[in-house]
Amino acid sequence: MKIFHLKEKLYKWLFTILAFASLFFLIGIVLVLIKEGLPIFHKVSFSKFIFGRFWYPTYSPAEFGIFPLIMASIWVTLGAVIVCVPLGIGSALYLNELAGVRQKAILKPIVELLASIPSVVFGFFGMVILTPFLQKVFNLPTGLTALNASIILGIMATPTVCSIAEDALNYVPNAFREASFAVGATRWQTLTRVVIPAAGSGISTAIILGMSRAIGETMTVLMVAGGAAVMPHTFLEPVRPMTAAIAAEMGEAPVGGDHYHALFAIALILFVITFVFNIIAEMISRRFRIKLGLSG
Amino acid sequence: MDNQVKMRAQNVDFFYGKTQALKNVSLDIYANKVTAMIGPSGCGKSTFIRLFNRMNELVPHTALRGKIFLDDLEINGPLVDAVDIRRRVGMVFQKPNPFPKSIFDNISYGLKVNGIKDKAFIEQKVEESLKKAAIWGEVKDRLGDSALKLSGGQQQRLCIARCLAVETEVILFDEPCASLDPISTTKIEELILELKKDYSIIIVTHNMQQAARVSDYTGFFLLGEMVEFGKTQDIFTKPQDPKTEAYITGRFG
């Protein structure tokens, strides 16, 4: 009897610890980012770091302005949104409203399978197929550009957007559709005036999480974005998003040096951005569930 | 003149895949009367009324044989648009299903999807419909509030108002009180009696007292067949078929 109780307790503790492990990791990572990132601000002011237009970390004197990197991340992410929103939402609408049961049973797993392709494979695809194509079409010196990264990231974010948006459409009770048909609405009217507005915040969540996927992606942008740490002017120029800068430069930055700290500070800023994205997504999706009368 | 036929089902068979849900059902629905469909769960009564506004065709793998008429129009005819039929034959569902929109928008929705843009007309129609559905007094000061904030009974009356707004001619009630409390149920029943002055009404119910209270005609369904149809009074006092008698006296069901 006693051993049994002991075992029960042991299990409880074991799983409690495991459950809290993620929290510890999160806090640990944030603390390290802060500890290693903050020292750079003794060298450069915060605003100069964020809005500085020159990123010459290895020059002497070095310049630590990450504005070109931030802009590159924003451009590439927005470009990815332009690609993944029509693709992802469009396929979600098709899957949920038009495809038959069997078609959906086959198609949805396939779309989700797209998410399981390693990012390096996407990057490879961009380098080998998209790069020469873009170079030829736009007659560019290099096909490794913001456009290239946007397209590949957009395709990579599509399964995220599609899957979450499809879930949102699925959550819209069938009773709403029936009610709409029953007053003489067409399928299109039902879709645009009842189903999509009802799923609206769920769809916004899907887009935000897709963006968060795109902005945090590293390997692909490292491979196809071109890597030039200068202010982007058009989508047809090489850029260096924040993630690519960290990945490319961390290996050569001397530990404890200014460059090293600057890279950690970039990581910290990136973390804050994705964190905010995820919070917003969570808030919107909570409102969505309340709106549809599902549990908060 | 008393018994003008508004809708008619003629030798209707209905299939879900290979399962036959309705077997050779023929029935007349009289204008300005309430016709009740009773029977145990799964007897096909809900399936049957969903044929009158062509809702069943939204369910995949179903098939219909036989004819259904609205006045003289065969509603499944080749040139007939389901959208048209659904406007003329409204439906109130088992669970109140207002849209997650404002009270006003819930009512105006049907008008807008049918192409009406005149704002003053829409406003007037919304008020008129809410009044007819006996809910105007409760909502007139908060037409902009979400319909989901209303109680279940209010939501159901709102749904009734929603089908009145599109100038429906027939209203199908599919167990409209199944999820409501007794007081809300009474209100809906009173409303049904009031509405039959202007509309032809079909109601599916598993509650025999309800059928007895509100309907003029009753059809008894069992296993996809209509066992008996007649004046409600006759069905409940001197049923012809022993199965009907067994059901209404509560020996099964």
CA–centroid distance for B236 within its chain: 21
pLDDT in tens, A96-149: 988 888 899 999 999 989 989 999 999 999 999 999 999 999 999 988 999 999
Residue A296 lies in a domain: no
Instruction: Tell me: do A33 and A131 sit in the same domain.
Output: no
Instruction: Tell me: do A128 and A224 sit in the same domain.
Output: yes
What's the CA gap between A165 and A275, in Å, rounded? 20
Domain carrying residue A253: 43-291
Instruction: Tell me: do A135 and A8 sit in the same domain.
Output: no
With cut-offs at 50, 70 and 90, classify the pLDDT of residue A8.
Answer: confident
Residue A155 lies in a domain: yes
pLDDT (tens, 9 = 90+) of chain B, 253 residues, equals 457 999 999 999 999 999 999 999 999 999 999 999 999 988 999 999 999 999 998 888 899 999 999 999 999 988 999 999 999 999 999 999 999 999 999 999 999 999 999 999 999 999 999 999 999 999 999 999 999 999 999 999 999 999 999 989 999 999 999 989 999 999 999 999 999 999 999 999 988 899 999 999 999 999 999 999 999 999 999 999 999 999 988 877 5
Residues 6+ apart with CB under 8 A from B131: none
Judge: A181–B86 Cβ closer than 8 Å, yes or no.
yes
Q: How far does the CA of residue A104 sit from the closest CA of chain B (Å)? A: 14
Write the residue in A178, A193, A293 that is nearest to B148 by C-beta.
A293
Instruction: Tell me: do A69 and A29 sit in the same domain.
Output: no
Residues 6+ apart with CB under 8 A from B44: B14, B21, B22, B25, B221, B223, B224, B225
Residue numbers in A near B101 (CB within 8 A): 197
CATH number (3.40.50.300, 3.40.190.10, 2.60.40.10, 3.90.226.30) of B5-97+170-248 reads 3.40.50.300
| Sign of the dihedral through C-alpha A202, A203, A206, A208 | negative
What's the CA gap between A275 and A160, in Å, rounded? 17
**Per-residue confidence (pLDDT) for residue A295, from 0 to 100:** 46
Question: Are residues B233 and B32 in contact, defined by beta-carbon separation less than 8 angstroms?
Answer: no
Q: How far does the CA of residue A192 sit from the closest CA of chain B (Å)? A: 11
Q: Exposed/middle/buried for B78, CB within 10 Å: 0-12, 13-18, 19+?
A: exposed
Instruction: Tell me: do A246 and A179 sit in the same domain.
Output: yes
Size of interface A-B (CB pairs under 8 A): 74
Is the CB of residue B99 less than 8 Å away from at least one CB of chain A? yes
φ/ψ of residue A143, rounded to 5: -90, -5
Is the CB of residue B176 less than 8 Å away from at least one CB of chain A? no
Is the CB of residue B16 less than 8 Å away from at least one CB of chain A? no
**Per-residue confidence (pLDDT) for residue B1, from 0 to 100:** 44
pTM of the complete model: 0.81
What's the CA gap between A204 and A201, in Å, rounded? 5
Residue numbers in A near B60 (CB within 8 A): 100-101
Q: What is the DSSP string of A60-107?
A: SS-EE--HHHHHHHHHHHHHHHHHHHHHHHHHHHIIIIIS-HHHHHHH
Any idea which residue has 């049904």 for tokens?
Answer: B192
Judge: B110–A178 Cβ closer than 8 Å, yes or no.
no
Residue numbers in B near A288 (CB within 8 A): none
Residue numbers in B near A101 (CB within 8 A): 60
In total, how many domains does chain A have?
2
Judge: A184–B148 Cβ closer than 8 Å, yes or no.
no
Q: Which amino acid is at B30?
A: Y
Residue numbers in B near A295 (CB within 8 A): none
Domain ranges of chain B: 5-97+170-248
Any idea which residue has 């924040």 for tokens?
Answer: A242
Instruction: Tell me: do A15 and A117 sit in the same domain.
Output: no
Judge: A181–B58 Cβ closer than 8 Å, yes or no.
yes
Instruction: Tell me: do A143 and A188 sit in the same domain.
Output: yes
Reduced to 3 states, what is the DSSP secondary structure of residue B67? strand
Judge: A178–B148 Cβ closer than 8 Å, yes or no.
no
Residue numbers in A near B80 (CB within 8 A): none
Residue A145 lies in a domain: yes
Instruction: Tell me: do A137 and A221 sit in the same domain.
Output: yes
Instruction: Tell me: do A98 and A206 sit in the same domain.
Output: yes
> CB neighbours (10 Å) of residue B243?
18
Residue numbers in B near A185 (CB within 8 A): 83, 109-110, 113
Residue of B nearest to A289 (CA): B100
Is the CB of residue B125 less than 8 Å away from at least one CB of chain A? no
User: Which tokens is B42 given?
Assistant: 């799964």
Instruction: Tell me: do A27 and A166 sit in the same domain.
Output: no
What's the CA gap between B152 and B139, in Å, rounded? 14
Instruction: State the complex-level ipTM.
Output: 0.91
Which residues on chain A place their C-beta less than 8 Å from a C-beta of chain B? 100-101, 173, 175-186, 189, 193-194, 197-198, 291-293
What's the CA gap between A219 and A202, in Å, rounded? 29
Q: Give the end-to-end CA distance of chain A in Å, rounded to a whole number.
A: 41
To test the contact with chain B by mutation, choose from A183, A289, A291 the residue with the greatest count of B C-beta atoms within 10 A, namely: A183
Residue of B nearest to A180 (CA): B110
Residues 6+ apart with CB under 8 A from A233: none
Instruction: Tell me: do A15 and A50 sit in the same domain.
Output: no
Instruction: Tell me: do A11 and A148 sit in the same domain.
Output: no
Percent helix / strand / coil, chain A, rounded to 5: 75, 0, 20
Write the residue in B100, B113, B165 that is nearest to A291 by C-beta.
B100
